[in-house]
Structure 1
Amino acid sequence: MPNHIHAILQIKNDGNDPVETHGSASTSNQQHPVKKHGRASLPNDNGVAYRPPKSISSFVAGFKSATTTKINQYRQSKMPVWQTRFHDRIIRDFEEYHRIQNYIIDNPRNWKKDKLYIR
């Protein structure tokens, strides 16, 4: 749909690094400052927000930043593009993967039924 995206990310991990979602506590001592407090950021001991490295939150933030830059260059503006939050889900088996994959494929067909659809 034009007002949001769906994606399936495959995380390949050798088991040495934690994989985190929605700002789960990082086992890394490294802290990366971020501008806003939100679901994707955590306060450190000093109350400063940081995004855990190698997290889904960090990946999504980078994606949003890069696409916002390109979109605003294209439309020659500096308008917000994305909502501040996102929803993630861990796919645990092939049946769930197949169901979600079909939902993503079928999703654009439902655009005219969306409450934000404008003719």
Structure 2
Amino acid sequence: MIKFQNKYRIPSARLQNWDYGANGAYFITICTDKMQHYFGEIFECEMQLNELGKLAQELWKEITNQFSYVELGNFVIMPNHVHGILIINKSATVETRFIASPNNEEKKGGVTGDKNPMLSENISRIIRWYKGRCSFEMRKIHADFSWHSRFHDHIIKDSTSFENIQNYIENNPSKWEEDKFYK
């Protein structure tokens, strides 16, 4: 008998058979829980970041310091979501930033060993770090801050798509009232 018979399994939003650690550009959208406006408001077609919005922006920029194989494309902090392009480029030597003892390889990854998801160099790990870091810092200011549990990604496959998405992100605040996340 198969336990739960997949009754409680939530299907993955990720593209099957795609390596999300592969070099490439990824358009990411991360929403706040219940689409709450935690990051500020749009005024005269420009995003006015509040304290939490400024933290979200600062920590997005920190991604490149935390993950040496990542470059940032355009990004924008909106009242209730973040849009950004993450570019994975592992052509340079990648340094693992996971805390592990360099003298004791068998303990790498803690009790899960090399199955620890924080050892993977992929989009999920980057977003997990970003959301976790934001949550930790933002809850010092707004105790009930929270993200939606998932995130949306789009694999950018050509330069035309890349340019269109860069423009979409740049113009997002001026088109706020037309945005599907507008509430």
The alignment's TM-score, normalised by the length of structure 1, stands at: 0.61
Q: Tell me, yes or no, if structure 1 residue 13 matches structure 2 residue 90.
A: yes
1:87 matched residue in structure 2:
152
SS at match of 2:173: helix
Determine whether 1:56 maps to 2:123: yes
Distance verdict in 2 for CA 1:101–1:84, change over 3 Å: same
Counterpart for residue 30 of structure 1: 114
One-letter identity of the residue aligned with 1:96:
S
Report percent identity of matched pairs: 34
2 CA distance for matches of 1:100 and 1:8? 8
* Secondary structure at the counterpart of residue 84 of structure 1: coil
Deviations 1:30-80 (A, max 9, x none): 111xxxxxxxxxxxxxxxxx56611100110000000111111122x1x24
Which consecutive residues of structure 1, in runs of 5 or more, have no partner in the other structure? 18-28, 33-49
Provide the rounded CA distance (Å) in 1 between the counterparts of 2:91 and 2:124. 20
Cα distance in 2, alignment partners of residues 91 and 115 from structure 1 = 20
Change in Cα spacing, 1:115 to 1:88, as seen in structure 2 (3 Å) is: closer
- Of Structure 1 and Structure 2, the greater strand share is in 2
**Quick one: higher RCO (CA 8 Å, sep 6+), 1 or 2?**
2
The structure where helix makes up a greater share of residues is 2
Q: Evaluate the alpha carbon distance shift between residue 116 and residue 86 of structure 1 in structure 2; reply closer, same or farther with a 3 A threshold.
A: closer
Q: Distance in 1 between matches of 2:180 and 2:164?
A: 23
- Where 1:73 maps in the other structure, the secondary structure is coil
Q: What is the SS of the residue equivalent to 1:85?
A: coil
Unaligned ranges ≥5, structure 2: 1-77, 95-112
Paired position in structure 2 for 1:109 = 174
2:138–2:145 contact (8 Å) kept in structure 1: no
Q: Quick one: distance in 2 between partners of 1:117 and 1:91?
A: 24
C-alpha deviation, 1:110, in angstroms: 2.6
Larger Rg: 2
